[in-house]
Structure formats: C-alpha cells, structure tokens
C-alpha cells in the first residue's frame, strides 16, 4: 500500500511544484515533457514488470521497481537542467510502471479469487488518498522548502515499503524458469511508445493527419504486426494474445480502456473550467477535484468489501450507472454554474470510477491462472493508461476545434461583428485564451461570448465521455459473474 501511495503521491506532487521548477531551471518549452516522459515509460514498462513478476519472485521484482523509482527520484531531485530532469523522470517512470502493477499482483497472489477484491479495493482507494495529499504536500514543499524535496521525499517512503514487504510478505509459489522473448518485448514496447507519442503530438495541437502523427502511428502499426507474427518465437512473450481470446480478459481490458478514456477528461478539463472560465484561484481549481478523489477512495474500498457478497458485475454496472448520471449532469454545465453543482457531478463520476476499478481488476485477474496474475494485472493498468492518453488527446482536440467552429459561426452570423486579432490567434489554445492576462484585454461582451463558446465546447467533450461510458455499460453485459 505504501508503494502505491508512493507512486500516486509523486504523480500529484510534481504537478504542484513544476511552476517553481521552471522558475529555477528554465526551459518552459520542455515543460510538458517532464510529465510525458514519466507517463510514457510508466506505460510501456508495465507489461514487462507484470511478466517478470510471473516468472521470478514478486518480492524481488518489487525491490527492483522500487530501486528504479528511487534512483530516478534522487537524480531528479539533483537535476541541474530541464533536459536532465526529463531524462531522470523517464527513469523514475520505469520504476513507477512496476509500482503500478506489482503491488496489485502481490495482492492477487495473497488472496483467494473470492477475496481479491478486498485487497484491490484498498489499493485503489490509496490512489485517491494520494491525489488528495499530493497537492497539499507539494504546496507545503514549495512554500517552506526547496522543490527538490518533492523528489527526495520519495526515498524514506520507498525504504519503508521495502521493509514492510520484506517483513510481512512471503512467497510460497516456486517459480519455473522461462526464457523471455526479449526481442518481442522490445518490438512491443516501441510499438506502444510510438502509439502514445502519436496521440501526445495530437493532444499538443498537431492535426491528426500531420506527418508526425501519421509517422508514429505507422511505426506503431507495423511493429505491432511484426510482434503478432513473431510472438513467442524467441521465448515466452510478455504479452500473450491468447489471453485476449478469453472473454472476461478481453472485455475487462476494454472496460478499463473506456473508463480511463472518460475519467481523464474530467481530471484534465474540470480544473481548467474552474480556473479559466469561472475565474477561481489555482488552489480552488485543484480543490475542485478533491471531492472526486474522496468519492473514488470511499467507493473503491466499499466496492472491494461488497464484491464477495454481491459479485463483480453489480459493482461494475453500479459504477458505470453513477458515471452516466454524472456525465449527464455535466451536460447542463454553464459558465456561471455554482461550485456545488460542479462538485455534485464530479462526485458521482468519481464514485462510479471507484466502484468500477477494483471490480474490473478482479474480473481480469480471475480470468487467468494464478501463474499469469502479473500479466493480467499489468494488461489492465496498460489499458487504462492507453485509454486516458487517447481520451485526453481526442477531447482536447474536440475542445479546440469546437471553439474555433462555434466562434466562426458567430462571426458569420453577425452575432459577433468583429474580434481582436489576439483573440483570433489563440482560439486553438484555450489555456492561453482564458488566462488572466488575455481576459483583462477583452471587452466585457467579448469575454462573455468567449466564456459561452468555451462552455458549449466543453459540453461536447463531456458528451463524448458520456457516449464512451454508455458503451462501457453495454459491453459490461458480456461479462460473467465470479
């Protein structure tokens, strides 16, 4: 649990301290890559950590994951430039991939299939707690200490995690030595990495048919086809496509993908709405997600306790139902909506995600033999990460394109007679357009129109999320009860 808390805290603390890091190290143009490098290596390393934990000692693999994470943390804390920080964050992300997958695999090996949900629910709840503590911890660090402490603080927590695992976790299962298909692993990792880079470029403003996006997608597709063709020829593959022919495994991962697609839209755009549209402070923007995190934690823990009595399917469907209600309410969002209304629909979405997360994980784990728990767990984590990355990219593009299109309609209809050039030039960049500096340069009527256009465009984003969750609810009826 401390390991999961460690990874969760780092993900949220770093976002809080990065403005201070930029002021110290410079390199504003590289800002987003501090997060992207971490996310990319986390995603592509998950299947490898999962496979290794199935073949070798889970405890030893956990130690290696902690080691990677702490080395990356210490090096990040002593970075002297943004380039160094990005490289060391990538190292840290490799460890984070193990911390995201191996603890859930350990839980799966400790508990019987009927009781796995309790452990999974507790670990899932830890992520929600970390998302609450992270911003608070980050704010205290940058206010009273050096930003470097945000990375170095991981060391004592990591050491405590190792000591607890060493003391209380014993493996009784004897591992059969297997030859790993390292060639296939490299092909698979580069394929997933290229796929993620394509959508990262798309999310950063590149059009879908741009040379960068198309090139990365072609590389990804070609290498994935090579991986399918060569699967298992040089050893035991890190990802066995045979598993996806198991209905519960395949559908469970699809549901993880769809839920990740939908939830990251809320995480990414609600704070932007609160700060940029409603003019709230950055602190209030961060606090807007706190009720969702609390609801996520509470319902994850509750779901884990309830699943043994009522089954995984009921928790999945209750969760998606709550998300459907939440996203439906979000369609009534206006730029002058009350803060209470915003909290209401994000609590419903967070609670729904909390019910869904451990139930899907248990569904995927229970669909395979115990010796494949690592592969099953990491596949579910990877599916949600891919869904989140693709979702944020597509939703960001929808937001920008909707704003541009809606504003053009207003100009052609005569509703808006004219618009300043500085306004027109930033229609594809909501963060800049709605910054306090830009707002101060707009006329009152012009600002009201921009706020209305943005809110209407954001509703299109939430509409897509609603459609995705509805699809997930329909697909959940393909699962069977465990």
Residue 53: partners with Cβ closer than 8 Å, 6 or more residues away: 61, 62, 101, 102, 105, 373, 374
Domain 240-482 top-level CATH class: mainly alpha
Domain 1-179 top-level CATH class: mainly alpha
What's the predicted TM-score (pTM) here?
Answer: 0.78
pLDDT at 473: 92
User: pLDDT digit of tens for each residue in the chain (482 aa)?
Assistant: 555 666 666 666 776 676 677 767 776 656 667 777 787 788 788 888 877 877 777 778 888 888 888 898 899 888 888 888 888 888 888 888 888 777 777 776 666 655 666 666 666 667 667 766 766 776 677 677 787 888 888 888 888 877 877 776 666 655 556 666 677 778 878 888 887 777 766 655 556 667 777 888 888 888 888 887 776 565 666 777 777 778 888 888 899 999 988 887 777 777 777 776 777 666 666 667 778 878 888 888 787 777 777 777 888 899 999 999 999 998 888 877 788 888 888 899 989 988 888 888 888 888 777 777 777 788 888 888 888 878 877 887 777 777 777 777 666 665 554 555 656 566 555 556 666 666 666 666 667 777 777 787 788 888 999 999 999 999 988 876 55
Backbone dihedral angles phi then psi of residue 251, each to the nearest 5 degrees: -70, -40
Backbone dihedral angles phi then psi of residue 377, each to the nearest 5 degrees: -65, -45
Measured distance CA(200)–CA(446) in Å, rounded: 32
Measured distance CA(33)–CA(429) in Å, rounded: 18
Measured distance CA(106)–CA(377) in Å, rounded: 10
């Amino acid at each position: 649990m401390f390991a999961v808390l460690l990874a969760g805290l780092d993900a949220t603390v770093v976002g809080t301290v990065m403005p201070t890091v930029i002021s110290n190290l410079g390199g504003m143009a590289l800002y987003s890559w501090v997060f992207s490098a971490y996310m990319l290596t986390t995603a592509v390393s998950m299947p490898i950590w999962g496979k290794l934990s199935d073949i070798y000692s889970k405890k030893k693999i956990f130690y290696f994951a902690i080691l990677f994470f702490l080395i990356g943390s210490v090096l990040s804390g002593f970075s002297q430039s943004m380039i160094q920080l990005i490289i060391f964050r990538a190292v840290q992300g490799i460890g984070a991939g193990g911390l995201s997958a191996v603890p859930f695999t350990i839980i799966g090996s400790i508990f019987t299939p009927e009781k796995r949900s309790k452990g999974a629910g507790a670990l899932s709840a830890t992520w929600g707690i970390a998302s609450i503590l992270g911003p608070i911890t980050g704010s205290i660090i940058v206010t009273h200490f050096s930003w470097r402490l945000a990375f170095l603080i991981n060391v004592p927590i990591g050491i405590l995690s190792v000591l607890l695992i060493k003391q209380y976790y014993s493996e009784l299962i004897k591992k059969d030595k297997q030859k790993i298909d390292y060639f296939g692993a490299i092909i698979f990792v580069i394929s997933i990495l290229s796929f993620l880079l394509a959508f990262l470029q798309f999310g950063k403003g590149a059009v879908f048919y741009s040379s960068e996006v198309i090139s990365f997608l072609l590389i990804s597709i070609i290498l994935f086809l090579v991986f399918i063709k060569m699967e298992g020829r040089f050893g035991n593959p890190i990802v066995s496509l045979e598993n996806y022919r198991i209905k519960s495994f395949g559908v469970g991962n699809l549901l993880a993908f769809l839920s990740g697609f939908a939830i990251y839209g809320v995480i990414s755009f609600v704070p932007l709405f609160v700060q940029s549209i409603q003019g709230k402070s950055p602190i209030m923007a961060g606090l807007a997600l706190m009720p969702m995190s609390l609801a996520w934690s509470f319902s994850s823990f509750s779901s884990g306790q309830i699943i043994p009595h009522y089954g995984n399917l009921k928790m999945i469907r209750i969760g998606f139902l709550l998300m459907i209600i939440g996203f439906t309410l979000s369609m009534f969002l206006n730029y002058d909506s009350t803060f209470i209304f915003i909290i209401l629909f994000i609590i419903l979405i967070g609670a729904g995600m909390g019910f869904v997360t451990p139930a899907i994980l248990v569904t995927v784990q229970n669909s395979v033999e115990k010796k494949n728990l690592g592969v099953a767990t990491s596949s579910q984590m990877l599916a949600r990460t891919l869904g989140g990355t693709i979702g944020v990219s597509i939703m960001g593009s929808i937001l920008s394109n909707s704003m541009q299109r809606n504003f053009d309609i207003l100009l052609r209809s005569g509703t808006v007679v004219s618009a300043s050039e500085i306004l027109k030039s930033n229609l594809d960049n909501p963060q800049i357009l709605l910054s306090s500096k830009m707002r101060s340069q707009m006329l009152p009527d012009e600002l009201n129109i921009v706020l209305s256009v943005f809110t209407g465009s954001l509703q299109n984003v939430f509409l897509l999320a609603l459609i995705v969750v509805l699809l997930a609810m329909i697909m959940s009826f393909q699962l069977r009860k465990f």
